[in-house]
Structure 1
Amino acid sequence: MTERLMLLDTASLYYRAFYGVPDRRASPGAPPNNAVRGLLDMVATLLTTYRPTHLAACWDNDWRPAFRVEAIPTYKAHRAVEGRPDVEDTPEALVPQVPVIVEVLAALGLPRLGADGYEADDVIGTLVHRHRGRGPVDVVTGDRDLFQLVDDEASVRVLYTARGGVRDPDVVTQSFLRNKYDIDTGPAYADMATLRGDTSDGLPGVAGIGEKTAAALINRYGGLAALRAALAEGDPHLKGARRARLEEASDYLDVAPKVVAVATDCPIEETDLSLPEAVAHPDLLLDLVDSHDLRSPVNRVLAALQVAID
């Protein structure tokens, strides 16, 4: 049977749930649960709509990896707690929900994978690389960085949740990239994004080069490396202010590709990502349902998985 793998950019989804799902606790003293409830509802919807055979909840073991910060010190710096550059500034009511999400996934038997020193994006990139040839892959995220993994030949697409959520995501294929960005492939998107930069990640890009210009340059030269080679060789088409801006950004362009590119070789053990055929830890799941008022969303996930608590 062909494997249909679904990879969740978990933090992207639970942040969306936290901000999008109302806090409807029965009493102020009850533990917050809107991110947990929202994530579980998303998982149920995704399982029902796309019917994957395999799934992994991919995790940020390190939200700001050292190898990226060493290359570009501003990488995600604006998201850190003031005076603590290694700690992400997380909403107070979300903090206690993250370990509950970990426990719920474990209780259900849904695999959660992370790698020390790497972000969830890198885990996703590694799993996409390993899965090649086994069947289609759906990457679920609200992060455009993962568009670089889109590959029609390998049946890798992104379900982009930033606008329509998991119920109506943008289905990102190479055709989508072509229509939206005038870019033909995932790797070309990464090259374009390097030139453009991304303020949300603290990547400055090349001053004066926006998305359209970046795409035109990548299309003309076939890639960032070829563009830089043409610049070094004095290509007459690269002149004036554009040449000056690219030359001024030389140090940035030396290191930015390794920051933008997701890893494909994270140290992740081979794991069975098949959907569970039974609840892994029924007692723990029932405790979490009772202590965090999760009966409805857990039941929806169980129905989508077609399993029951024994």
Structure 2
Amino acid sequence: MPPAASTSPAASTSPAPPASSRAVGTLLLDAASLYYRAFHGVPQSLTAPDGTPVNAVRGFLDALAFLVAEHRPERLVVCWDDDWRPAFRVAALPSYKAHRVGAEGGEDAPAALGPQVPVIVDVLAALGVARVGCAGFEADDVIATLAARAVAAGGRGGVLVVSGDRDLFQLVDDAAGVAVLYVGRGVRKGELVDEAWLAERHGVRGGAAYADLAVLRGDPSDGLPGVAGIGERTAAALLARYGDLAGVRAAAASAAPDLPAGRRRRLLEAGAYLDAAPAVVRTVADAPVARVGGALPREAADPARLRELVSRWGLASSVDRVVVALAGAAGAS
């Protein structure tokens, strides 16, 4: 392995994080969100020595290095989709992600991305970076569960969730110290989502209210139809007036005088959807996720395996950046 890909972080000096960064206690990464964005954002011309595309691998590792250097977490967990379309959500709402099912029943993903995902798994294992999924649950549920555990355990720095998925805005809770770094425009253009951000951008008071808004508004990308005629602004106004989704439905059921007749009719007609959708939209915060420490490795867990992966896939510069970032953050904690 060339010196740039050394698995001995002690030989390198971690770059000083930007002044705008803030140290966090627990950093939870939505893996699929990051590697999908890496695949679409990094040219497929980045290949391994044998010509195999590794753009998603390189982009994911570079994002990991940047996030660790930027936020210097005490704990880091890469959260995995062991089940991208859980049975309990499909049972509640059959349209859930139905349009994303491929010909063989799995997720319809780019052909060049699939082979890269196991490489990411192998590199994380060789580095010693914690990665965890949960059978029958999505990464969103893994993240929600780990965030709840971190809050219950206390500690400094709070929880920062990194994702390009707006669904995870529902976890935002200033009092509990849970925020989301929204990377829909890229990791380096991440937006810190807290309660003030949600109020300004979406007109809701916090994470729980955002989940109610998502139910009412719907989300075509997930196969959630929402309530006909109720977009985001109307949904936010209803929640502001009646408190929460239950309050909105109660107002419709009781023919509240300040609820327009047309809006009431649409809410009542969507009754079956509104019965089912909360179980689909809301994350599970007590999923049976394996206990994972998440302490940052000061050196590679399996240096020989890491050297092999770097050589085979041409990952020297990306892996070196991760190693340096991990060592710097671990040394600072």
Instruction: Give your verdict on TM over 0.5.
Output: yes
CA 1:28–1:5: 2 relative to 1, 3 Å: closer
Query: Which secondary structure does the structure 2 equivalent of 1:88 belong to?
Result: coil
Contact 1:3 1:134 in 2 (8 A): no
Q: Percent identity?
A: 56
Provide TM-score, normalisation by structure 2.
0.88
Deviations 1:37-87 (A, max 9, x none): 0000000000111111101100000000001111111111111113x4x40
Name the CA distance, whole Å, in 1 between partners of 2:65 and 2:49: 27
Name the CA distance, whole Å, in 2 between partners of 1:205 and 1:134: 38
Equivalent position of 1:245 in the other structure: 266
Equivalent position of 2:183 in the other structure: 161
Equivalent position of 1:148 in the other structure: 170
TM-fit CA distance, 1:3: 6.6
Equivalent position of 1:123 in the other structure: 142
TM-fit CA distance, 1:29: 4.3
Describe how 1:68-87 pairs up with structure 2 within 5 A: 68-82=89-103, 84=104, 86-87=105-106
Describe how 1:227-238 pairs up with structure 2 within 5 A: 227-238=248-259
Equivalent position of 1:99 in the other structure: 118
Describe how 1:151-190 pairs up with structure 2 within 5 A: 151-163=173-185, 165-190=186-211
Deviations 1:2-23 (A, max 9, x none): 9710000000000000011112
Contact 2:74 2:296 in 1 (8 A): yes
1:67 matches 2:88? yes
Paired residue total: 303
Name the CA distance, whole Å, in 2 between partners of 1:99 and 1:26: 16
Match for residue 161 of structure 2 among 131, 135, 139: 139
Name the CA distance, whole Å, in 1 between partners of 2:39 and 2:189: 18
CA 1:25–1:178: 2 relative to 1, 3 Å: closer
CA 1:26–1:111: 2 relative to 1, 3 Å: closer
Name the CA distance, whole Å, in 1 between partners of 2:302 and 2:163: 28
TM-fit CA distance, 1:24: 2.8
Q: Match for 1:152: what amino acid?
A: D
Contact 2:48 2:312 in 1 (8 A): no
Query: Which secondary structure does the structure 2 equivalent of 1:18 belong to?
Result: helix
Name the CA distance, whole Å, in 2 between partners of 1:192 and 1:210: 9
Provide TM-score, normalisation by structure 1.
0.95
Runs of 4+ deviating beyond 3 Å: 25-29
Contact 1:195 1:206 in 2 (8 A): yes
Which structure 2 residue ranges, 5 or more long, are not aligned? Answer: 1-22, 329-333
1:302 matches 2:323? yes
Deviations 1:202-253 (A, max 9, x none): 0000000000000000111110011112222221222321011001100000
Name the CA distance, whole Å, in 1 between partners of 2:289 and 2:142: 8
Greater relative CO (CA pairs within 8 A, separation 6+): 2
Provide the alpha-carbon RMSD of the alignment.
Answer: 1.5
Name the CA distance, whole Å, in 1 between partners of 2:321 and 2:226: 43
Q: Match for 2:162: what amino acid?
A: V
Deviations 1:252-305 (A, max 9, x none): 000100100000011112211111122111111111100000000000001101
Q: Match for 1:147: what amino acid?
A: F
Name the CA distance, whole Å, in 2 between partners of 1:288 and 1:279: 12
